[in-house]
Structure 1
């Protein structure tokens, strides 16, 4: 057992502290709607350089370096798993330009800014400039979800961030090897050969590893419960194998492995990707806390006005100029080019790789390389804060966000679904009605609602529909099993609080009760599809009634005692759908909100009995004529 020195934490306590602060920062950022990476940066600096409670080098020791390298490899692998080529529709040319032209131009512009503005030597500037190609995928993804960007600019930013991660690392490797050649007796030809051999070997390992894993999984040669452990073991083996030949080339290996598996069409791909998303959150949190806590006040004191000037030059010149040049002449509209050019947040990969190469350059005798790590932290903090608060407003100014309120996807083209869509559209909430039967969409189309003929879970819907403006799913089809499938599959993407379905028709017995992990929240007062259909046929109607100080909840219930509450739309804010409570009580309604409810038909007003006009008294001859039997000899009666 390792005995900690005075004032040091045990490794177990240190890991627990890192985990608590990292996940706690992520949760607090979610509650406050702030960039999580900024809170993690502050937490790490407070417990490290400021208070001295935690020092990774002291409390964890030599394991810190390998731990960070492996964590970055897993983060890049998970990023590669998100690169399905189908999602490139409409953005392939732009992404290709950003990688092939934008990355080298960005490397050059960042190197020039580092040398002439930040004051670094050419060698340190070239290595750090290569790392600055990276725009953090772990930062871009949450920013895109918050800003609700349109599909193409969102795809451009996401693909650029993930693909350029290994590209930036390899650029830094290339520059670093050149520096090693300059400071060593190794010939330039030998160094170039070693570099090309390492990159080629890393790419080969990535392709072979991705192909082998996909083939084994597709043929059922790995048990379902073993797939994630096998995947992790394979990526670690591939990373270590490539890294043994050329430092940091393992990042290229794991990225290629992830991209190959993402496009292999594996049936269990979604489960694997979501599991690694959870692991990535933990790893990002841990790595950033470790790196921030590992800083010291002497290092931070190296930052001066040159650092601030460099950050401004990077954001205003070194990032926009290469992007605009790379995208010039493409079919990408200028507004989208401008948004991409002005958006370049950096994340944990930049800090991790910059800290690693900074230490190695210092070991080679380049003292100015000690400024690389603090500069990386400043860049990350500045870009994340800036883009975290300005991306959505800038995108709205350029007209590249989903307009209006967040919308609702209604799955199933029933009469209730159409009626609900009409009410929501009149209230300004976008609606998309989906169904696999085109006939059932007739009512929605006649009502002027946007429709999609097909399966909402299909690739056609995922890659062909622009769903960025919708944040709720309501499954209203007549098929209970399909409703459960839709809400279960889409819950991780939309959040379980935002997926709803009708109550199942089956009896509430143990034989039919599903686990709580399946399905969505109930809606429409817990009514089933059959109960809703009968009520709609009986003349029940969906209405929107505004509550006010004069017409409050009590007056609403007196006016509509039998109405079923569906949801409400506040004056400011997004739609709120109601889930029935166990005690059948109504949820708390908001004054000023439009209450959406299913109201019974109004009773027809009672009519006074009609008075017939008095007739003149019949004469005896008329009476006799009516009562006399027909002779059958007259003209035929009209039908």
Structure 2
């Protein structure tokens, strides 16, 4: 099969699996592994090794390096204020403990000979951002355990590769010189890792210095950055095998903490690259699996997988965090969640071949690494919500609304949504403007939403929809553009343009968020109507009371703003989209005050007098 056709199939299967995961809520990696296995060993549609030949290994290596670099860019040291001690313990104590326990289990339960067991256990200390990050995105977990899992995944990936290199170099040296010791092997490898880390840091410093000073034009920043990552990876690997993973991880973390403002513009691109690489690599690796490699899996390997899930990981976490400030419910959660991903499979396949060169049979590592990946992704991917809920560390499942701008109109909207149990947060840079929100008991954040520090001081993960409704329409558009890349262009809204059509100062539609209301009310429009007594109204629909009946109950001038589904999903009425109301939905409308007839007013007053008289007689 032509290579171009194979590339097209890999892309189609990988992105198709990602889309299906989005539609169904299933773990994306499970679907990608299933798609690759189905296309490769089962149906025989293509064989990556035959299609790409000797280029397959460097393609996978560079792809893993770029994924680790992208993961490093997401690590900010400010996240370590609450999770720092836990992360440090899982790196300093967790890696050697996990390596030791894993080696014992692989040899005594899995039946691997000691050299193969020790090397494989070194790789098993990785968890991997390619699997942890999607799990955290699909499940709302409290910030501290989520931060610990994220840091552990990204930092331990290169450390797991380094552990495998140490084990391999030691047994290779023993095969040549039986009297060789660890002292002869470990210090040079540690020194090589330090040199690789310094190379990554210097590269990050060079980029941080050159980008803001205009030394690189805007259109070349992404190519220069990606090329620099590949050069750093290859250069470090010439010093020592797999040291390049240490270098690119250090490079990513360093860049993330050097406050390079010009890097914000490439975040959407790097995220897209990461999605493409993860999808492609999982399809390629699972399609490369052979049935003869699976033949090594037997009941002893099944027991080893159970030991890995229920003995090795829990013992590693609980001993590493013994005496720490991490609460016990979070420790138990961390003890269960440890999915493995691309790095485990890629490095296992690499060392399975190298072990043959020094007289050991490492063929079982390929099938066993896939078994570990599938088992951990399925076990943890389908239970993370349940475990988090049972341990009390799960946030709200209901989609939340982030409101930028504290005005009487936004406070009234936030109050109605708060009554419907929708997570709401009002953000404003003015403490005075937030007074009304605090008086109403609404969650509020005092700060500039566009400030990078806000991302670390305010947990934005519960909020899937944003409404920018300050008095400044240009600022609202800027906020919508900034957050469109993170939560989706169709999830950022602002009030319509108040300027008259054809006004030269009107903002182009492409620069704005989606306009609220079908009528396109602007800031001045809603302020004027609220001053006239317009209010928000909630209307619950049912089988007997449908949308048409609800419209008849409301004043003719009422404007539908949004509907809230029974599961909390928010759907806004805009100039471009009109959601279809269903029984069970709650509609929030913005409408003028109801005009009562004189008879209705008199009846209301009489009822109020009767209640007052009854209360006085009762007293």
Structure 1 residue 190, shift from structure 2 partner: 5.0
Q: 1:237 aligns with which of 231, 245, 251?
A: 231
Contact 1:149 1:468 in 2 (8 A): no
In structure 2, the partner of 1:565 is 560
Is the counterpart of residue 361 in structure 1 residue 355 in structure 2?
Answer: yes
Is the counterpart of residue 141 in structure 1 residue 133 in structure 2?
Answer: yes
Is the counterpart of residue 442 in structure 1 residue 435 in structure 2?
Answer: yes
Once the two structures are superposed, residues 490-529 of structure 1 have per-residue CA deviations (whole angstroms, 9 ceiling, x without a partner) of 1222222222111122344495565665332222332101
In structure 2, the partner of 1:523 is 516
In structure 2, the partner of 1:374 is 367
Is the counterpart of residue 491 in structure 1 residue 484 in structure 2?
Answer: yes
How is 1:20-59 mapped onto 2 (pairs within 5 angstroms)? Answer: 20-59=12-51
Q: 2:262 aligns with which of 257, 264, 268?
A: 268
Would you identify which runs of 4 or more consecutive aligned residues in structure 1 move more than 6 Å?
Answer: none
Q: Secondary structure at the match of 2:70?
A: helix
Is the counterpart of residue 500 in structure 1 residue 493 in structure 2?
Answer: yes
In structure 1, the partner of 2:538 is 544
Structure 1 residue 91, shift from structure 2 partner: 0.6
In structure 2, the partner of 1:90 is 82
Is the counterpart of residue 155 in structure 1 residue 147 in structure 2?
Answer: yes
C-alpha separation in 1, matches of 2:533 and 2:324: 55
Contact 1:203 1:253 in 2 (8 A): yes
Structure 1 residue 352, shift from structure 2 partner: 0.9
Contact 2:212 2:262 in 1 (8 A): no
- Taking a change above 3 Å as real, the CA distance of residues 514 and 42 of structure 1, as seen in their structure-2 partners, is farther
- Taking a change above 3 Å as real, the CA distance of residues 192 and 588 of structure 1, as seen in their structure-2 partners, is closer
Contact 1:404 1:428 in 2 (8 A): no
- Taking a change above 3 Å as real, the CA distance of residues 152 and 489 of structure 1, as seen in their structure-2 partners, is same
Contact 1:346 1:383 in 2 (8 A): yes
How is 1:102-251 mapped onto 2 (pairs within 5 angstroms)? Answer: 102-185=94-177, 188=181, 191-192=185-186, 194-251=188-245
C-alpha separation in 2, matches of 1:113 and 1:517: 58
Structure 1 residue 606, shift from structure 2 partner: 3.2
In structure 1, the partner of 2:248 is 254
C-alpha separation in 1, matches of 2:599 and 2:546: 32
Q: Secondary structure at the match of 1:357?
A: helix
In structure 1, the partner of 2:612 is none
Contact 1:547 1:553 in 2 (8 A): yes
Structure 1 residue 84, shift from structure 2 partner: 1.2
- Taking a change above 3 Å as real, the CA distance of residues 178 and 518 of structure 1, as seen in their structure-2 partners, is farther
C-alpha separation in 2, matches of 1:516 and 1:601: 32
Contact 2:422 2:568 in 1 (8 A): no
Deviates more, 1:282-291 or 1:573-582: 573-582
Specify every segment of 5 or more residues in structure 2 that has no aligned partner in the other structure, as ranges. Answer: 603-619
Structure 1 residue 185, shift from structure 2 partner: 4.1
C-alpha separation in 1, matches of 2:589 and 2:453: 33
Structure 1 residue 200, shift from structure 2 partner: 2.7
- Taking a change above 3 Å as real, the CA distance of residues 225 and 181 of structure 1, as seen in their structure-2 partners, is same
- Taking a change above 3 Å as real, the CA distance of residues 219 and 542 of structure 1, as seen in their structure-2 partners, is same
In structure 1, the partner of 2:592 is 600
In structure 2, the partner of 1:469 is 462
Once the two structures are superposed, residues 349-389 of structure 1 have per-residue CA deviations (whole angstroms, 9 ceiling, x without a partner) of 1111111111111232211x101111111111111111111
Is the counterpart of residue 72 in structure 1 residue 57 in structure 2?
Answer: no
In structure 2, the partner of 1:622 is none
C-alpha separation in 2, matches of 1:521 and 1:308: 52
**Rg bigger for which structure?**
1
Once the two structures are superposed, residues 181-230 of structure 1 have per-residue CA deviations (whole angstroms, 9 ceiling, x without a partner) of 11224954654454234223212211211111111113221111111111
C-alpha separation in 2, matches of 1:514 and 1:281: 32
TM-score, with length taken from structure 1: 0.90
- Taking a change above 3 Å as real, the CA distance of residues 478 and 289 of structure 1, as seen in their structure-2 partners, is same
C-alpha separation in 2, matches of 1:511 and 1:124: 71
C-alpha separation in 1, matches of 2:57 and 2:327: 43
Q: 1:10 aligns with which of 2, 6, 23?
A: 2
Structure 1 residue 589, shift from structure 2 partner: 1.0
C-alpha separation in 2, matches of 1:201 and 1:573: 51
- Taking a change above 3 Å as real, the CA distance of residues 376 and 515 of structure 1, as seen in their structure-2 partners, is farther
Deviates more, 1:334-343 or 1:403-412: 403-412
In structure 2, the partner of 1:407 is 400
- Taking a change above 3 Å as real, the CA distance of residues 14 and 572 of structure 1, as seen in their structure-2 partners, is closer
Q: Secondary structure at the match of 1:562?
A: coil
Q: Secondary structure at the match of 2:536?
A: strand
C-alpha separation in 2, matches of 1:129 and 1:457: 44
In structure 2, the partner of 1:624 is none
Structure 1 residue 543, shift from structure 2 partner: 0.9
Q: How many positions carry a matched residue from both structures? A: 598
Contact 1:404 1:429 in 2 (8 A): no
Deviates more, 1:301-310 or 1:527-536: 301-310
In structure 2, the partner of 1:352 is 346
TM-score, with length taken from structure 2: 0.93
Q: 1:534 aligns with which of 517, 523, 528?
A: 528
Q: Secondary structure at the match of 1:439?
A: coil
Specify every segment of 5 or more residues in structure 1 that has no aligned partner in the other structure, as ranges. Answer: 1-8, 611-639
Q: 1:300 aligns with which of 271, 274, 294?
A: 294
Q: Secondary structure at the match of 1:295?
A: coil
Q: Secondary structure at the match of 1:183?
A: helix
Q: 1:334 aligns with which of 328, 334, 339?
A: 328
C-alpha separation in 2, matches of 1:63 and 1:536: 66
Contact 1:78 1:273 in 2 (8 A): no
